[in-house]
Amino acid sequence: MTWKETFSGRRFDLLNPDPAQVAIGDIARSLSYLVRFDGHTREPYTVAEHSLHVAWLVRFSGPLNAPLEWCALHHDSREAYVGDMVQPMKLAMREKSGLFEHGRSVYDEIEDSVHAAVERGLGLPKLTPDTEDVIKKADLVCLAAERRVFMPNTGKHPWGIENIAPPPVLVERMRSPEWRWVGAFEIRARFLAEHEKLRAACLVQP
């Protein structure tokens, strides 16, 4: 069996992902419970929170661009279906398969096909390589900030992101009472509201 049943009762096949089975309600619910870093954090910190911070950082760092922000919000939405596999595990799977540097594991292929189905199912705009790079950069900056805020006992071992200095305003945002300990239901509501706001903004663009 390669399919999973979602909260809404949809059947999502990981080997044959159907965009028609993608639902924003399922994504928001899953990501608001799915923790980052395998839970090795000061407190529960979810993929939905991370996604909201990445979208905010894209907005903070450049001119208003609703399609880019919308894609940034959903850059990890495939994880509602494939889970949040930490990067060291992805790299271990590639090395175990003899792929090393730039090779791609079976998991990578599944993850990409699910991501494409999510993009189509939600109607996300297509990104250019340049705009994809903007999101990737924001993702790494958020990772550097998250390490500082949510993983206070790390730092002994290099992650390869030590040269990335997140803007203080992002660190302050993550530490603020507005975001700490707000709970999964509130985060899910914020994720859904941001999705609807950005979707509507994209629909009215010429």
Closest to 56 in 3D by CA, of 174, 180, 206: 174
**Full-model pTM:** 0.93
The CATH class that applies to domain 3-203 reads: mainly alpha
CB 24 within 8 A of CB 36: no
pLDDT tens per residue across span 135-153: 999 999 999 999 999 998 8
Confidence of residue 108 (pLDDT cuts 50, 70, 90): confident
CB 124 within 8 A of CB 70: yes
d(C-alpha 75, C-alpha 67), whole Å: 12
d(C-alpha 72, C-alpha 134), whole Å: 9
pLDDT tens per residue across span 187-202: 999 999 999 999 999 9
d(C-alpha 172, C-alpha 192), whole Å: 23
Q: Domain coordinates of the chain in residue numbers?
A: 3-203
